[in-house]
A and B are shown apart, each in its own frame.
Chain A
Amino acid sequence: MANFTTGPATLPDVGTLSYNGCVFSPLFATEMSGKPIQDNANRTIKLMEYSVSVDGYVTLPAGATSINSTMDSLRRLLTARGGSLTYQGRGFDLVVGPVAGGLIAGTARDLAWGPVPELLEFQPLGGGRSAKVKWRVKTHIAEIAGGKPRSRKSRGNKLVPVKDGLLLQFNYETLVGYGEDGYSSLEIRGTLEIPLARNPLQTTRTLPHTADDFRWQVEDRIMDGIDLARFRVAKRNFSVSRDKRVLEWDFSMEERPYMDMPPECTIARGTYSVRPAKVGMGLCLWLCTLRATYTVRADSPRRVAWLAFLTMLKFRMDASWSGFIKKDEQNPRRRFFVRNLIPPPDPFTAPVTFWAALLRSMRKNPSTPESEPVKAWLIDFSFDEGMYLDSKTVTFSATWRLTTMFSHILLASGLWTKLPDTDRDGNNIWATSVRSVSGMQSWLPNRLDPKLDVIVDFGGQ
């Protein structure tokens, strides 16, 4: 195709103008127009969009009686996207795309699947023996040198594909909210854009990579800064554009309440209800009901939910030691403080190991004096296992009877007591247990496979 021209001309050739193998003769006048394209943050020029407008004449090849064959080739070549564009010798050299099958030194790669033909006008002259043709193509290039590619080989226990990445843009917007309860919510929305072009040839229909391959940059640059000891990630969306160059992402975080969720649980909700027992009126016999619903990480053992409930159940029931039933104990000077003296557990490792260790340390609640007997016993236990589509959750419920006078019900019921939320080294246990699934992915990476995406042309591959 490199030999194809728009027809003979007697004028001297000045410079070179060609696109996708079509060489324009000196009978074409050109006009170059450049438009800086801002990034989404309107802070920088992410690329220059150049339009090359060509206006001239197609002439009759020697020995031909019509320009039909010339126009056939011209139409085919000049309407194809992603061809190599050479514009030289006019004081504004612009060479874009692979030339002669490869990208040579000094040429630029289009950054957005271009060059992009935008206009082809045809005006016949001389009974089909020549024509006036207007054509315009747009290309996107960077006028500044790219920075150093950023790469990442591994992170924690996650395997991250190594992908050097020059980004076209990376920016985000934030929203800080305070609910009527005073708790914070954070939202971050941003854009990651990468350059992509047909590579190495105009006829190449496959993708070397997609913007999704650079999802880790969102985690590196943004999500690593989320303090999971205070916030939990409530929503994450990663949207890849159809041209696979742009990754729009947004996620939101909610400030965590007073009580931490159990390790390995992405959601845990529940209630603790204390009320007077119905049998035997009065304010010394109580019923305490602990009910909680757990959603455990899909890649963690199901029984983590049970172990979390069992631990809390035992912990709250053990608090009943501080109830009193003898009159002489009502002396306020004998008021007991139920201090939470369960030792901080070892740093979080595997969930089952963690719970086993914590339960062992609670076998005898260290905050319970040997001389103080427990004043509670279990009278009801039930669980609801979500089935099929609801099998993400399981609910446990237990009710125990507690004997204590009104004055000690807050203490003996264990109100506001909670299991240790930091390990021996001061790290937040829940945050440690879910950090690997709170960033750019959960337990499933759900990565786009560039090999499964092809550019489909009419009659193409």
Chain B
Amino acid sequence: MPFLHSNVVYGLPANDPAQVGKTNNDSDSIIEQAIGIPWSSNREASWVYFDCAVGVMLDSGIVVHNRLPQYKSSAFDTLASVALDDPKFDALAGPGVNVACRDQYTDIIQRMGHARYWFRLWGQALRVGYKIPIPGIKTIGGVPAIPYDKNPQWAYCGIAPGGNYSGVILWRAQWSLWYTTAVPPKNQTIPEADPSAHITGTSELPKEMQAPYSRADDNAKRTPTFDVPGIVVPK
């Protein structure tokens, strides 16, 4: 090897424990002590997702009395429009679902009671750091919502599987709550909100979406006269 040992170039013995080009200086101090990785200290920004919906079921109070068959035939009505093993199956262009009825009946419609409304609030959410409050409905359609317990209400809020962000809990919740009203709903208002999307159903739509703001890069020499009055500049 025609090259000098690198230690020798620097006046060190070739077998010195400190090897030029390999050995480094590190005090082995704990540099990261008290250096934190930020997590969402903002509660409003802690939602991973919030998926909640209000479903409405209506009993209009109408009863339909069925007549006897009005058509004399052994044929029966079917939704099918072709036999499955029809050899020309792939050449047919049928009507799809066959809803044409062979009968000629006219049933009797009778109003037996007032319309009844049921509302089901169900959903799930995931949140980091903070427990998820189970949502409920106070009013709907402009009238008070009353729990409807013929369908059992259930909900839970627990730690999501593996939901440990280095000491920060990932909370998961699901719920299913039923409501009805004692008086007829008066309007079309159904509560809608998504805290993770930071928007509610009553939000006013913008004319257009605001384009993202940019900032001067870190090499830029800023021109103070370009500052917009009212801009908050952290000190």
- Give the interface of A toward B (CB within 8 A): 159, 161, 258, 279-280, 282-285, 298-301, 303, 307, 310, 313-314, 317-318, 320, 323, 325-327, 330, 332-341, 350, 352-353, 355-356, 359-360, 362-363, 367-369, 372-379, 401, 403, 405-411, 415-418, 442-449, 452-453
Nearest neighbor of B5 in chain A, beta-carbon distance: A449
The interface centre, meaning the residue of A318, A337, A416, A446 with most chain B CB atoms within 10 A of its CB, is A337
Whether the Cβ atoms of A363 and B35 lie closer than 8 Å is yes
What are 24 inter-chain pairs, A to B, with CB distance below 8 A? Answer: A280-B50, A284-B198, A303-B26, A310-B35, A323-B45, A333-B228, A336-B231, A336-B234, A337-B233, A339-B215, A340-B218, A350-B25, A352-B25, A359-B35, A374-B39, A375-B40, A378-B165, A403-B42, A403-B45, A405-B198, A407-B211, A411-B215, A417-B218, A442-B21
Residues of A close to B150: CB separation below 8 A: none
Whether the Cβ atoms of A443 and B45 lie closer than 8 Å is no
Nearest neighbor of A353 in chain B, beta-carbon distance: B27
Taking A350-B25, A367-B234, A410-B215 as given, write out 10 further A-B residue pairs in contact, using a Cβ cutoff of 8 Å, ordered by the A residue number.
A313-B37, A333-B231, A335-B228, A341-B234, A363-B34, A373-B45, A378-B165, A445-B6, A448-B2, A453-B2
- Give the interface of B toward A (CB within 8 A): 1-4, 6, 9-11, 20-27, 29, 31-32, 34-42, 44-50, 128-129, 165-166, 168, 196-199, 203, 209-219, 228-234
Whether the Cβ atoms of B196 and A280 lie closer than 8 Å is yes
Which listed residue, A307, A335, A341, A407, touches B31 by the CB 8 Å rule?
A307
Given contacts A282-B197, A448-B2, whether A330 and B9 have CB atoms under 8 Å apart is no
A307 to B27, CA, bound (A): 14
Residues of B close to A410: CB separation below 8 A: 212-215
Residues of B close to A368: CB separation below 8 A: 234
Rounded to whole Å, the gap between the CB of B74 and the closest CB of chain A is: 54
Whether the Cβ atoms of B23 and A299 lie closer than 8 Å is yes
Rounded to whole Å, the gap between the CB of A222 and the closest CB of chain B is: 21
Given contacts A408-B213, A416-B218, whether A356 and B197 have CB atoms under 8 Å apart is no
Which listed residue, B9, B36, B48, touches A401 by the CB 8 Å rule?
B48
Residues of B close to A353: CB separation below 8 A: 27
A330 to B199, CA, bound (A): 13
Residues of B close to A307: CB separation below 8 A: 31
The interface centre, meaning the residue of A161, A352, A363, A418 with most chain B CB atoms within 10 A of its CB, is A352
Whether the Cβ atoms of A339 and B210 lie closer than 8 Å is no
Residues of B close to A415: CB separation below 8 A: 214-215
A447 to B21, CA, bound (A): 14
Given contacts A301-B25, A352-B27, A443-B20, whether A406 and B38 have CB atoms under 8 Å apart is no
Residues of A close to B9: CB separation below 8 A: 159, 161, 445, 447
Whether the Cβ atoms of A374 and B48 lie closer than 8 Å is no
A405 to B110, CA, bound (A): 54
Whether the Cβ atoms of B39 and A356 lie closer than 8 Å is no
Whether the Cβ atoms of B38 and A320 lie closer than 8 Å is yes
Whether the Cβ atoms of A378 and B37 lie closer than 8 Å is yes
A339 to B24, CA, bound (A): 36
A411 to B214, CA, bound (A): 6
Whether the Cβ atoms of A369 and B234 lie closer than 8 Å is yes
Whether the Cβ atoms of A374 and B213 lie closer than 8 Å is no
Which listed residue, A326, A375, A377, A406, touches B210 by the CB 8 Å rule?
A406
Give 6 closest A-B pairs by Cβ, nearest first: A373-B42, A333-B230, A403-B45, A377-B39, A407-B210, A375-B45
A161 to B44, CA, bound (A): 65
Residues of A close to B212: CB separation below 8 A: 406-411
Whether the Cβ atoms of A279 and B233 lie closer than 8 Å is no
A355 to B35, CA, bound (A): 12
The interface centre, meaning the residue of B36, B37, B49, B214 with most chain A CB atoms within 10 A of its CB, is B37
Residues of A close to B40: CB separation below 8 A: 373-377, 401, 403
Whether the Cβ atoms of B3 and A449 lie closer than 8 Å is yes
Nearest neighbor of A410 in chain B, beta-carbon distance: B212
Residues of B close to A369: CB separation below 8 A: 234
Whether the Cβ atoms of A335 and B213 lie closer than 8 Å is yes
Whether the Cβ atoms of A378 and B231 lie closer than 8 Å is no
Residues of A close to B1: CB separation below 8 A: 452
